[in-house]
């Protein structure tokens, strides 16, 4: 039930709602049985059932003036996910409108540096790159990198959002991955290999897009990324990238 709990959490269910739903999935239908097996107070169970009923995950029937509860169709989980995606798309559009309306004119000489020092903030910085204006991200990737260390779940989420946003990637890899990896993560296989052996040692993955350069360190124990916003820096890195990429 570990995967089910994770799914329910991602769909926005409270911990109590998750427990009650999982208890019902295991075959419990009476409030008294759910209470015994979860140690949740009866009024709290009734409240959770009401919320689950509202979401379509639980069905309430009145039999002989007694309320009975049963699980709704399992497909409702997918329906909730689709609804959440629609809501997020709507919110994303509104955020874009607000950002565009309030954004100050860009100063080509300005420079800002932002540090990301938690795993969640690093992941957010990476996902934020997918909203680049140029719709192209140039990447320089070492053999041991953040994406390989973090695992398939986040990498898959990143790829899906990249495709949805219409963003393409041009990549320079220290070591070309397998064809299966390229097929999964690169739409048009726009990948080239750095000189071998490389003229320098590096461990950071570099994203170059718009007026930004994002450096992502590979460590999972001490996650860290640095975002430099500078037209000068970005243009320099783009020039260096293309001088190698086009050879």
| 216 located within any domain | yes
H helix intervals, 2-151? 2-10, 15-25, 31-38, 42-54, 76-102, 119-128, 146-150
Provide the pLDDT confidence category of residue 178 given band limits of 50, 70 and 90: low
Q: Is 150:220 a contact under the CB 8 Å cutoff?
A: yes
Looking at the structure, do residues 133 and 196 belong to the same domain, yes or no? yes
- How many separate domains does the chain show? 2
Is residue 208 pLDDT above 90, yes or no?
yes
The model's pLDDT over 88-144, given as tens digits with 9 standing for 90+, comes to 777 777 777 666 666 656 667 788 899 998 888 888 888 899 989 899 999 988 877
| 105 located within any domain | no
Give the domain extent around 32: 2-76
Q: Which pLDDT score, from 0 to 100, does residue 186 have?
A: 58
Closest alpha carbon to 136 in 10, 35, 41, 245: 245
What is the average per-residue pLDDT within 168-184?
71
Q: Which pTM does this prediction carry?
A: 0.56
Is residue 211 pLDDT above 80, yes or no?
yes
What is the average per-residue pLDDT within 175-192?
62
Please indicate whether residue 44 or residue 83 has the higher confidence score (pLDDT).
44
Q: Is 77:184 a contact under the CB 8 Å cutoff?
A: no
**Of 64-73, 100-109, 118-127, 152-161, which gets the smallest average pLDDT?**
100-109
Domain of residue 61, CATH code:
1.10.10.10
Looking at the structure, do residues 123 and 192 belong to the same domain, yes or no? yes
Residue 193 neighbours by CB under 8 Å, 6+ apart: 172, 173, 174, 175, 176
């Amino acid at each position: 039930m570990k995967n089910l709990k994770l799914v329910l959490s991602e769909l926005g269910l409270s911990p109590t709602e998750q427990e009650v739903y999982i208890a019902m999935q295991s075959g419990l239908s009476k409030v008294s049985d759910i209470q015994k097996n979860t140690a949740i107070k009866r009024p709290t169970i009734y409240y959770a059932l009401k919320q689950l009923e509202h979401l379509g995950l639980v069905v309430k029937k009145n039999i002989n003036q007694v309320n009975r509860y049963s699980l709704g169709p399992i497909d409702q989980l997918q329906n909730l996910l689709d609804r959440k995606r629609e809501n997020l798309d709507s919110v994303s559009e509104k955020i874009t409108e607000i950002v565009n309306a309030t954004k100050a004119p860009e100063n080509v000489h300005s420079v800002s540096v932002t540090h990301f020092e938690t795993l969640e903030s690093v992941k957010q910085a990476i996902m934020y790159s997918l909203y680049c204006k140029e719709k192209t991200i140039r990447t320089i990737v070492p053999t041991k990198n953040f994406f390989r260390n973090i695992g398939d779940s986040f990498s898959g989420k990143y790829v899906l959002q990249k495709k949805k946003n219409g963003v393409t990637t041009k990549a320079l890899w220290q070591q070309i991955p397998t064809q299966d990896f390229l097929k999964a993560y690169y739409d048009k296989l726009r990948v080239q290999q750095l000189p071998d052996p490389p003229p320098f040692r590096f461990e950071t993955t570099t994203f170059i897009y718009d007026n930004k350069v994002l450096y992502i360190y590979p460590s999972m124990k001490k996650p860290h990324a640095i975002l430099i916003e500078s037209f000068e820096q970005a243009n320099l890195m783009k020039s260096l990238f293309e001088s190698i990429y086009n050879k």
